Structure 1
């Protein structure tokens, strides 16, 4: 959708929750392109805090206590040109708004396969893309039959979740029952869980220093898939917490094409016609296998891609929602190693029960070659908790390197310094 130079700015509805893009980042990126109206539950302290930081003139609709029908009615009255969300749990609401207002977005049926891990596995298997043993857990009586199907080890996680919250490996029936009871008692994560077969990684593909999985970032426009990047990963911290990303990924010749081919098969199998996707793929002895497909921007990815390739993925996502994606003439070739490497390294503890050390860490990290920015808040009362997932960390290091050898040297220096930080 292209407006005239004298016409009003189109309205973009952002169904907001703390996720892959910040409220201020969205507003800054959309400036002079559209009028952003945030739909957010101000009863959520995190959402309220984020939206309170915006300029007072920013339109905000408080959705606290509203039914989905009421939210859609409020949205329709604004005559929006587009709708977008950057949080998995809000995809259903964004899809309902899009359907009511006649906007392009993931359709409701596709959203179900994107937010429900059991449904997604079933859809991928039905399409012949990948069969992964997965059982839905509605109550404790489902645990042992599920484990009999998956075998051990197996992965227990919320059916609709993100960021590795309440996600762990189980090795027997007793451990499974204990973890399930722990996760479903006084937990912020409600609803069904799933038990999946564990995809054994192959560290020989990229080497043991690097993570044995990647993510693929794409924008889908009327069924046309525009793949923008393959994101490399550092090895996971216990049990499945991410520790850092880098672009481009370090892949052997030909593997990037195989990864993108699998990703595109998955997107088509799930019926994705319009929207942003973030697909995780693991390297196994049987070849690349799908971990999951997400119907939103990947967390942290937009910053890294912008720094290494000058591609504004958040801006493209906003443009796609408005019907005017303004794709660059040449997107970076996925897996391309031209132009150096950019990364984010997460200041995350190796395991549970640890406390942070002194605030001098920040100055120490700035002395490491390749470190450009350290965003950390050292709170002595903070304690590690793996159940809270990837986002339970004290900060993030942003940096760059000329090549993968330089990236490895920087990451090794960061890892060495962090060994003496946690106590």
Structure 2
């Protein structure tokens, strides 16, 4: 019997590679929908897993949908997946076009456009920060004067990802610069003119993310993840750790808010990554949601800490088959993101860990001689590594010790030499 083919929308990055491997090991032909530029960057291992590809232009989603659907039907595709934040809406529409399990295409914009997301959350009664859509300078001044916003507040792009363009503003003085930063974070597709931005009330508390899988509109929460971030104003992620054990009443409240957010976003088949803030009073505020598996090696953390084959589970959900989601291990895992201390040219990097016992994943992304940034977005990471074990404190200590052993030397840009280019990161698979 011929198994259905599996199509990945944008197969770049480690998460997509894990998905492609899981499908190929099970005997499925793996196909990629990609751009010519992206395919040129695929490594030989990934290319060797692909039975075929369709080259399209994701900046023209209507045309891309038609081209990919024709290809998918021709090649017997029975499952569509993506780990690219910017392609989750296209994935929902493609699944509907092909008649395979997927999210509600009519609601899929709510998982990408953060203004729409805030609207549907509020309409559904989800506890979420008060949010104002800002078109221009007058709108920015009005938003900052709105007592429902207050200070500090968050200024961020409408549809970027990976923390790009997000600034916590403590007063009116930094708002204009923060707005310019948000507008510059264009994400995957640059549009003409000045894009609108969001001004959002600040939610105080501890940051977590909830990693979930939904099948036939029934959600299983795989893990609560602790998010480690830099201080204000950028608050860029520096690591993730899981699983976190919240007090039962707090956990139940968090899951209720998350499930309401999933329903409002039309998520009915597939992975989701929900960012939340839990206040000192235990109340949960949903910040935003992604209709995809979390990036930043969270899938690797789940696999090694809990024994859940998240890649096989994602494949099963996409194929409409029961997924094995029960933990088979009781471990702990953390990831550390390696960043540059300053902007400039990377001249030396030593002490980066290699994979081995207790370190199942280590990936260096930056090459000597390349331009590097101070951490302003997740795409500025130089690399990452995962540490695992049975005791949370011991794992965190080993990860921090390994991070301290890494030595990074950066030559600042000289006067008149072009500095780092604005962030144009199109992915969250870092």
How far the C-alpha of 1:292 sits from its partner, in A, is: 1.1
Give 2:427's aligned residue: none
Written as runs of structure 1 = structure 2, the 5 A alignment for 1:134-145 is 134-145=131-142
How far the C-alpha of 1:34 sits from its partner, in A, is: 2.1
Does 2:390 align with 1:390? no
How far the C-alpha of 1:182 sits from its partner, in A, is: 4.2
Aligned-partner Cα distance in 1 for 2:137–2:286: 27
Does 2:177 align with 1:178? yes
How far the C-alpha of 1:89 sits from its partner, in A, is: 1.0
The 3-state SS of whatever aligns with 2:160 is coil
Give 1:81's aligned residue: 78
How far the C-alpha of 1:320 sits from its partner, in A, is: 0.6
Does 2:47 align with 1:48? no
Q: Specify which of 286, 292, 295 is matched with residue 288 of structure 2.
A: 292
> For 1:211-270, what per-residue CA distance to the aligned partner results, in whole angstroms no more than 9, with x for missing partners?
x22211111111111221222222335512111112212534543333223222322333
Q: Specify which of 194, 200, 203 is matched with residue 204 of structure 2.
A: 200
Give 1:119's aligned residue: 116
Does 2:242 align with 1:229? no
The 3-state SS of whatever aligns with 2:42 is helix
> For 1:151-185, what per-residue CA distance to the aligned partner results, in whole angstroms no more than 9, with x for missing partners?
22211112112110111112333422223234435
Q: Specify which of 315, 328, 332 is matched with residue 341 of structure 1.
A: 332
Does 2:308 align with 1:320? no
Aligned-partner Cα distance in 1 for 2:320–2:130: 38
Instruction: Give the length in aligned residue pairs.
Output: 393
How far the C-alpha of 1:282 sits from its partner, in A, is: 1.2
Aligned-partner Cα distance in 2 for 1:274–1:145: 39
How far the C-alpha of 1:323 sits from its partner, in A, is: 0.9
The answer on whether the counterparts of 1:136 and 1:193 sit within 8 Å (CA) in structure 2 is yes
**Superposed CA RMSD:** 2.9
Q: Specify which of 22, 45, 54 is matched with residue 29 of structure 1.
A: 22
Aligned-partner Cα distance in 2 for 1:51–1:143: 44
Pair 1:410–1:255, CA change in 2 (3 A): farther
How far the C-alpha of 1:273 sits from its partner, in A, is: 2.0
Give 1:92's aligned residue: 89
Does 2:52 align with 1:59? yes
The answer on whether the counterparts of 2:161 and 2:187 sit within 8 Å (CA) in structure 1 is no
The 3-state SS of whatever aligns with 1:271 is coil
Written as runs of structure 1 = structure 2, the 5 A alignment for 1:251-266 is 251-252=246-247, 254-266=249-261
Pair 1:19–1:93, CA change in 2 (3 A): farther
The 3-state SS of whatever aligns with 1:81 is strand
How far the C-alpha of 1:295 sits from its partner, in A, is: 0.5
Aligned-partner Cα distance in 1 for 2:354–2:47: 30
Aligned-partner Cα distance in 1 for 2:18–2:355: 28
Does 2:126 align with 1:129? yes
Deviates more, 1:51-60 or 1:110-119: 51-60
Aligned-partner Cα distance in 1 for 2:162–2:140: 23
Gaps of 5+ in 1: 1-6, 202-211, 333-337
Gaps of 5+ in 2: 411-430
Pair 1:36–1:138, CA change in 2 (3 A): farther
The answer on whether the counterparts of 2:338 and 2:403 sit within 8 Å (CA) in structure 1 is no
Give 1:10's aligned residue: 4
The answer on whether the counterparts of 2:132 and 2:199 sit within 8 Å (CA) in structure 1 is yes
The answer on whether the counterparts of 2:157 and 2:185 sit within 8 Å (CA) in structure 1 is no
Aligned-partner Cα distance in 2 for 1:354–1:249: 37
How far the C-alpha of 1:348 sits from its partner, in A, is: 2.0
The 3-state SS of whatever aligns with 1:306 is helix
Pair 1:19–1:254, CA change in 2 (3 A): farther
Give 1:208's aligned residue: none
Aligned-partner Cα distance in 2 for 1:157–1:246: 25
Give 2:236's aligned residue: 241
The answer on whether the counterparts of 2:102 and 2:318 sit within 8 Å (CA) in structure 1 is yes
> For 1:49-97, what per-residue CA distance to the aligned partner results, in whole angstroms no more than 9, with x for missing partners?
1276412862100013744334434434444312121112112221221
The answer on whether the counterparts of 2:211 and 2:272 sit within 8 Å (CA) in structure 1 is yes
